[in-house]
Chain A
Amino acid sequence: MFCARCGSKLPEGARFCGACGGMVAPSAPAPPAYAPPPAYAPPPTYAAPPPVARSAPPAYAPPPPAAPPQRAARCSWCGSLLDAAATSCPGCGGNVSEMAVSTRSGWLQLPGRKDMAKLQFGQSTCQIEGLYVPVADFKLAPGDSVYFAHHALLWKDTALAIATMPLKGAWKRMFAGMPLIMTQAAGPGHIAFSRDLPGELIAVPIHPGQAVDVREHLFLTATGNVVYDWFQTGVWFRTKSGDETATHYPVGMFMDRFSSTGQPGLLLLHAGGNVFVRTLAPGETMLVKPTALIFKDPVVQMHLHFERPQTAFMSWGSWGNRYLWLRVVGPGRVAVQSAFEHLHGEALSMQGHSYATEMRW
């Protein structure tokens, strides 16, 4: 027996759905994906379907195409289908009982995650351990693989082979003075990743046809079926201090772009502090601290924005009277972290900059 509203499996004879609270119509039809038993099925017929249901991959299985009008329970964060019995979402590890909370102004907070929550992809699993600096602990099945930036590796099985991934032009990109190298690990075996500051681990499922742009150095790991690419942000400003000129990139010189190959994939990011996401309507704008940006949909446009506070006493040269923002323009998702890094060069005299809007109060 299934809930007509959300599709959750219900005990026989239930009057209310435990998952959505909906009242169960006396003749609630079972989803067509399962051989529909008659309303008052004799016990043997009823006992048969469950094993079939369990063996189906719960995370990224496309919704059963046979039942378009039926709405199944979905995770409020990542949209994965939820099994009525699950306590955490198999797609992102979010706590099912505590759905994503939205702030008064409409930012969605990352849903809480129970320690040791497990995600699934392909035949592999990833367990998220710890709450301050969470660890992503992968159990890779044969044939499944993940890739990662080498500095995020926490530990691995001795037998698990890792190899560098060929990247075009990677020598141009440096991380802490070292060239950025993507490293790949293929199953079977265990491998775990973490970062160096307290914060949240964000599971971003990449659905077929989807892509997401991530500010550099926030990437933890992605499954092998996610395409990695990077592009120049085109957001910069040039400062002059004495004889020295410097170019600053408030959201990084490069941004990482992760897209799907046609199969669903999983991307794990680590942000400092707490994480908030909002979906901007077409044309809707928001001023965000540049170093607080985590990711955005590729359709979201971004550029510099200078804000000059009104001051009665004087104009203080080029530094003091302007603040530097990243202006993001919808439509699309944008995510921010609450622990931002310091913005370098903001205090110096500016010589030039990429496209920017300005507000003088």
Chain B
Amino acid sequence: MSTPIAEPFERLQCQWCQSLNEKSALACRSCGAPLDVRNLVSESGWREAPRIRDMTEIHFSNSTCQVEGEIVPVAEINLSPGDAIFFEHHVMLWKDESVPLTLMALSGGFKRAFAGMPFLISVASGPGRIAFSRDSTGELVVLPLHPGMEVDVREHAFLLSSHQIQYSFVRIKGLANVLFGGQGMYMDRFVTAGSPGLLILHGYGNVFERVLRPGESIMLEPGAFLYKDSTVTMDVEFQKLGTGLFGGTRMSLARMTGPGRVGIQSMYVHHKTE
């Protein structure tokens, strides 16, 4: 038996993103989760995403992100030279005039449209400040991505991502016409290559996460799906709601099958298409 050796620096592990923090820290440096609050897990196994305290600062690369407000939180980014972030342009709330913007080259972006506009991803480069928010009540979900991680996110739910993360998107088969009037539904895919990166989502209402075991599945309302590990499969199934003689109606549900994480939002907001 070996006696445990006291570490020279005691570290606190964040229960949300597993990063190590100094013992005196009140909020996680990498994801902003309060470190002095226990995990809130429901009896059915959903874990509440951490409620980020007002004005918490999150560090990524050499830049910071301050989370401001608790009704419709704002992510205010202070980019240092050499750092960049990408996002959908309609989430920009304000910016310094001096922050340069470029467009990311996307294959297939023409086929995908948002509010009548071709789908574009903009890139802002440091140094300078730029802030983002969405149009409705919800919370920010901060997912620090470690090398080798792959996450799929509901379309238009990502607020911003740091430039170390590679971006692509995939179309969800079977959901055409169900949600977005003909365009079908896409998922944004975020993959880290060599270095860690930061991904911030905005979930409408409250956000919950659970980890599915291999083969374990759960049925979701497709509008509630927020994010998943790419190892989790998503299949759209139609359920007939019979009303006896007169046929009835069909409803679609998403079957999520593990292994991996699944995140949901409690408020489904209908996306308007202009």
A residues with a Cβ closer than 8 A to B are 101, 103-105, 107, 109, 132, 198-200, 272-274, 276, 285-289, 292, 307, 309-313, 316, 319-321, 323, 325, 327, 336-344, 346-348, 359, 361
Contact = CB atoms under 8 A, between A and B. Distances in A.
Interface string B71-89: 1111010100000000001
Contact of A285 (B57, B97, B136): B97
Contact of A313 (B97, B100, B105, B115): B105
Given A273-B137, A287-B96, A289-B93, 5 more contacts: A104-B66, A107-B68, A109-B68, A274-B69, A339-B134
Contacts of A272: 72, 135
B87 to A, nearest CB: 12
Contacts of A286: 94, 96-97
Contact of A361 (B101, B115, B129, B136): B101
A219 B92 CA distance: 24
B135 A287 contact: no
Contact of A316 (B74, B76, B95, B118): B118
B247 to A, nearest CB: 37
Given A198-B71, A276-B74, A339-B72, A292 B94 contact: yes
A8 B126 CA distance: 46
Interface centre among B78, B94, B105 (most CB of A within 10 A): B94
B100 A273 contact: no
Contact of A344 (B78, B105, B274): B274
B57 to A, nearest CB: 8
B74 A338 contact: yes
A341 B131 CA distance: 16
B70 interface: yes
Contact of B133 (A273, A316, A344, A347): A273
Given A287-B94, A292-B94, A342-B115, A309 B74 contact: no
A42 B100 CA distance: 70
A274 B71 CA distance: 6
B220 interface: no
Interface in B108-156: 115-118, 120, 122-123, 129, 131, 133-137
Contacts of B117: 319-320, 346-347
Contacts of A323: 89, 92, 101, 122
B38 interface: no
B101 A309 contact: yes
A273 B102 CA distance: 29
Interface in B210-259: none
A361 B102 contact: yes
A29 B69 CA distance: 42
Contacts of A307: 101
Contact of A101 (B54, B103, B136, B274): B54
Given A199-B71, A274-B72, A289-B93, A309 B135 contact: no
Contacts of B55: 101, 103, 109
A286 B117 CA distance: 25
Contacts of A132: 71
Contacts of B94: 286-289, 292, 336
Nearest to B120: A320
A337 B93 CA distance: 9
A276 B68 contact: yes
B272 to A, nearest CB: 7
A66 B12 CA distance: 57
B206 interface: no
Contacts of A273: 69, 71-72, 133, 137
B15 interface: no
B55 to A, nearest CB: 6
B64 interface: yes
A336 B93 CA distance: 9
Given A274-B68, A338-B133, A361 B78 contact: no
B92 A274 contact: no
A309 B122 contact: yes
A179 B54 CA distance: 40
Given A105-B129, A309-B103, A309-B122, A347 B72 contact: no
7 contacts: A273-B71, A289-B94, A310-B100, A320-B103, A336-B94, A342-B272, A347-B116
A341 B133 CA distance: 11
Contacts of A311: 102-103, 105
A338 B69 contact: yes
